[in-house]
Amino acid sequence: MKGIVLAGGSGSRLYPLTLTTSKQLLPIYDKPMIYYPLSVLMLAGIRDILIISTPSAIPAMAALLGDGAQFGLNLTYAEQDEPRGIADAFVVGADHVAGGPSALILGDNLFHGAGFPEVLRTARATLDGCVLFGYPVKDPQRYGIAELDQDGRVVSLEEKPLRPRSDNAITGLYFYDADVVDIAKNIRPSARGELEITDVNRAYLAQGRARLIELGRGFTWLDAGTHQSLLDASQYVQIMEHRQGVRVACLEEIALRLGYIDVEACYGRGIEMKNSTYGQYVMEIAQALA
């Protein structure tokens, strides 16, 4: 399975913070925002990842992440010169996906919860069509919403409904089979001129091949696309890390635990950042797992 991180857009909801930098390079507490979606793909067992961003942002992202070898990944980059909708990721990334299954995650989404790696790997192993991930929200009018029947099957998908049929918001994480590129290329732009991911999901629903996994109690999903939600995400990570003594979305630790890199490589990464508490943590993890 290939991975895509969609990290484009102007980040206008975060102005003036994003007037000179990409939203995905802003910090969520102790690490760049893009670490969080990358960690989700890694936990799903995905190592070949395309990062889609704006022409102006890619050099800085490449300077931060390189080719991904330090995390045991293969990272490549592609340009999206202007926002054309989430589904455009599969037009831009068609060659990367190359006729196989793929996972798409939005660059400003944070997921966290006990057992999440197992949820991801099970979803990947049982993929037949598309798998969506739902999260209960208090204001469903702001989201794409999935309605389920009594057996948990998806029966409708609506984008920002005035009268929501459920509180199950579709999060910014999607698993698709090999048909997604053809589906994305054949949908029409919406009234706002974008290729809507909801239309892709509806195409799978019409085929009876759309499934939703509900992320309920014990899971956290945050979209760090506004000033308030960026602060909320930072505070959440700060609280979790200080109370539990473990780092959220520490790419070096994930890579080491999954066997993508060895202890020496992990410790070396920590040495490079030894003056920060993050670097010291990476060194401690390497020593603990040696």
Q: What is the pLDDT of residue 156?
A: 94
Q: What is the pLDDT of residue 11?
A: 87
Model confidence pLDDT, tens digit, residues 3-57: 999 998 888 999 999 999 999 999 999 999 999 999 999 999 999 999 999 999 9
Q: What is the pLDDT of residue 182?
A: 96
Mean pLDDT in order along the chain per 10 residues (290 residues): 94 92 96 98 98 96 98 97 92 95 97 95 95 95 92 91 91 97 94 91 96 92 94 97 95 98 98 97 96
Residue 39 tokens read as 């960690």
Distance CA 71, CA 253 (A): 9
Distance CA 168, CA 172 (A): 13
Q: What is the pLDDT of residue 10?
A: 81
Would you say 180 and 90 are in contact if contact means Cβ atoms under 8 Å apart?
yes
Q: What is the pLDDT of residue 9?
A: 84
Classify residue 70 by its DSSP letter. Answer: G
Q: What is the pLDDT of residue 151?
A: 84
Q: What is the pLDDT of residue 124?
A: 95
Q: What is the pLDDT of residue 83?
A: 85
pTM: 0.96
Q: What is the pLDDT of residue 150?
A: 87
Q: What is the pLDDT of residue 24?
A: 96
Distance (Å) of CA 67 to CA 45, 75, 114, 180, 276: 17, 5, 29, 26, 23
